[in-house]
Copies of this chain bind each other. A is one copy, B any other.
Amino acid sequence: MKTTTIYQIAKELRISSSTVSRALKGHPDISPKTRERVLEMAVRLDYEPNMFAVSLRKNSSKEIAIIAPTLSGFYYDSFISAVEFEAKKLGYSVIVLLSGDDPIAERQNLKTCRQRRVACIMICITSKTLHTEIFESIQSSDIPLIFFDKVPDFAGVKSVCSDDFAAAAIAANELLCKNKVNSLSIFGDPNFSITRIRQRAFEQTFLDVNASAKIQVVHASSSAEAENAVVQAFQNYKPDSIFCMSDEILIGAMKAVQILALKIPEEVSIISISNGFFPRLYFPEITYVETSGFKLGQLVMDLFYHAVQGHAINTNSILNPILVRGGSI
């Protein structure tokens, strides 16, 4: 590989490497004529800066790390897409580290980030994440650490997430507005604060608005469990509606609805909190409260941009969910 360095440009032009370095990055001291010549030669020699040298010198890389449990299409893919899209505008690249639901792997991922001295870490924690000293150790280093979506409970963290309370409240309201008062409500892993918040919001709103309304709460930490829960529920009693806390739950519930051959919305109404992709797979399309991974990615990049500018990062940023009506209620 014919690697061109600033020295070669300098030699070619019989000037010093520092002049070349400065000219290349538009330093105001350099005369237009010199700059011109340098830029031209750089193109001619197909010069590309050696990122390793730059990083070593500056002691920071142009990389953003995203740590997520998985990539599979419920949420993170769109989050990552948004981050990647914005990042490249700023000259950053995105490195993706997957944790599964394994806190050990997550810990290892964090170490990798530190080792690579990434410019920023964006992380969605596992359901089993407990130990906090690694987070603190990173917080106290100079790497910005931003939690997204699944945020740990302990204080002082920077985070971006949807307004989980509002999202569930909106869903509850929508059901009640349509006189659905007997809800099977399926939530995810209660280890996540996101789950507890959504559940509290849903129950509270539902019963506040209509004291005689009924909620049957179920926890399902996979699509299969959600499917099961629906099948079970319809053997015992007939809820008039199903609330799904997430896409993962929605697709399980919908599988059950198909198996039971329930007519939507005649026999059962469906509403979900969702990224927006899966609800459109069905007919009628499912009404959902959108908590967009893509928008969240854009939001976090706003924060990042501020941080790069040297501004402090707000502790928490919250995205407002919106209701998207399908034909499922």
Contact = CB atoms under 8 A, between A and B. Distances in A.
Interface of A: 1, 3, 48-53, 55-56, 59, 61, 63, 70-73, 77-78, 80-81, 84-85, 88, 93-98, 108, 111-112, 114-117, 141-143, 251, 254-255, 258-259, 277, 280-283
Contact of A281 (B48, B108, B281): B281
Given A50-B56, A52-B55, A56-B53, A72 B73 contact: yes
Contacts of A108: 88
A50 B84 CA distance: 25
A168 to B, nearest CB: 24
A48 B114 contact: yes
Contact of A77 (B71, B255, B277, B283): B71
Nearest to A224: B280
Q: How many copies does the complex hold?
A: 2
B72 A78 contact: yes
A282 B258 CA distance: 7
**Residue among A71, A98, A112, A114 having the largest count of chain B Cβ atoms under 10 Å:** A71
9 contacts: A1-B141, A51-B115, A55-B55, A72-B73, A80-B96, A84-B96, A96-B96, A254-B281, A258-B283
Contacts of A93: 95, 97, 112, 116
Contacts of A52: 52, 55-56, 59, 61, 117
A89 to B, nearest CB: 11
A249 B305 CA distance: 38
Contact of A51 (B111, B116, B251, B282): B116
A116 to B, nearest CB: 5
A65 to B, nearest CB: 8
A81 B72 contact: yes
A190 B255 CA distance: 33
A97 B81 CA distance: 9
Given A71-B80, A94-B95, A96-B96, 19 more contacts: A1-B143, A3-B59, A48-B115, A52-B52, A52-B55, A52-B59, A52-B61, A55-B55, A70-B81, A72-B77, A73-B77, A93-B95, A93-B112, A94-B96, A94-B97, A251-B281, A255-B283, A258-B282, A281-B281
A97 B84 contact: yes
A95 B92 CA distance: 11
Nearest to A91: B112
Contacts of A80: 71, 96
Q: Which 8 A-B pairs have the closest CB atoms?
A: A73-B73, A258-B283, A52-B56, A71-B77, A52-B55, A1-B141, A95-B95, A259-B283
B77 A81 contact: no
Contacts of A70: 81
